[in-house]
């Protein structure tokens, strides 16, 4: 695998204001990206904040945000990812989009819906994981609450990954859980984990401290930022995953299991 250049945006999200969020992200990217990057990662529901107002804010798969993502991926010649509210038929999804610079895309619908916030009463849960490749890296992408469920995220041979991406609107009052679970997922799966959160208060006066981070397969911190908006580019090392798995071949001793959806 080649080294992978990652740009993360720990952003303040304007509550339920798609146009203002897209304008802000566009501005931050234009002023902050000064070198070629392979992947831009945005938070969960990056156009609206974590809202249950799906009926008013949901977009179709050919809506303005998808068009913006396609344009932005082409402009920076990289993949861009993050989750948005999508409507298909009569159903709403908290959907992560994986947009390539050629306009092709894939998606992941959040599997574990946050019942404490009534997300399960508004959105439809996904049933399939998303695995993609980028510059030789096998990547799995999930959304926020999924982080709490290690069985769903377990690195297994038939769907092995080298990098786990978590996009989130994770509140500060449970930040200690966030900071514990991210390195746990990295160490147990012997992969990099990049987790991108938002900052600031949302429309429900819930504060988000960010704490966006990248952890390597040994549990070491590559990147960490708290309490302020940040756009930052860093590299993850191509041979680090294989080096750890060769020196400490723990994954081959993992238990077999199956998930019933």
Question: Of 59, 70, 78, 110, which is the active-site residue?
Answer: 110
Question: Of 44, 59, 119, 172, which is the active-site residue?
Answer: 44
> What are the phi and psi torsion angles at 35 (to 5°)?
-145, 160
Active site residue 74: no
| Cβ neighbour number for residue 252 with a 10 Å cutoff | 7
Active site residue 243: no
- Residue 196: its pLDDT value, please? 98
- Residue 95: its pLDDT value, please? 98
Question: Of 144, 214, 225, 240, which is the active-site residue?
Answer: 144
- Residue 63: its pLDDT value, please? 97
Query: pLDDT averaged over consecutive 10-residue blocks of the chain (261 residues)?
Result: 96 98 98 95 98 98 98 98 98 98 98 96 97 97 98 90 98 98 98 98 98 98 98 96 94 88 81
Active site residue 110: yes
């Amino acid at each position: 695998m080649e080294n992978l250049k990652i740009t993360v945006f720990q952003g303040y999200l304007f509550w339920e204001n798609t146009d203002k969020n897209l304008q802000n992200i566009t501005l931050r990217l234009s002023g902050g990206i000064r070198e070629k990057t392979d992947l831009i990662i945005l938070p969960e529901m990056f156009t609206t904040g974590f809202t249950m107002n799906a009926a008013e804010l949901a977009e179709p798969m050919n809506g303005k945000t998808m068009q913006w993502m396609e344009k932005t991926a082409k402009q920076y010649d990289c993949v861009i990812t993050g989750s948005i509210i999508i409507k298909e038929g009569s159903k709403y999804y908290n959907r992560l989009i994986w947009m390539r610079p050629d306009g092709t895309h894939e998606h992941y619908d959040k599997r574990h819906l946050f019942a404490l916030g009534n997300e399960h009463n508004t959105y439809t849960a996904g049933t399939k994981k998303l695995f993609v490749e980028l510059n030789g890296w096998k990547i799995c992408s999930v959304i926020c609450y999924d982080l709490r469920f290690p069985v769903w995220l377990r690195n297994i041979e038939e769907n092995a990954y080298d990098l786990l991406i978590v996009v989130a609107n994770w509140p500060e009052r449970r930040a200690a859980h966030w900071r514990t679970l991210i390195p746990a997922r990295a160490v147990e799966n012997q992969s990099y984990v990049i987790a991108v959160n938002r900052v600031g208060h949302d429309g429900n006066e819930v504060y988000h401290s960010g704490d966006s981070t990248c952890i390597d397969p040994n549990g070491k911190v590559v990147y960490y930022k708290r309490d302020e908006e940040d756009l930052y580019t860093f590299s993850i090392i191509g041979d680090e995953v294989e080096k750890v798995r060769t020196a400490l071949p723990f994954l081959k001793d993992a238990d077999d299991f199956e998930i019933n959806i």
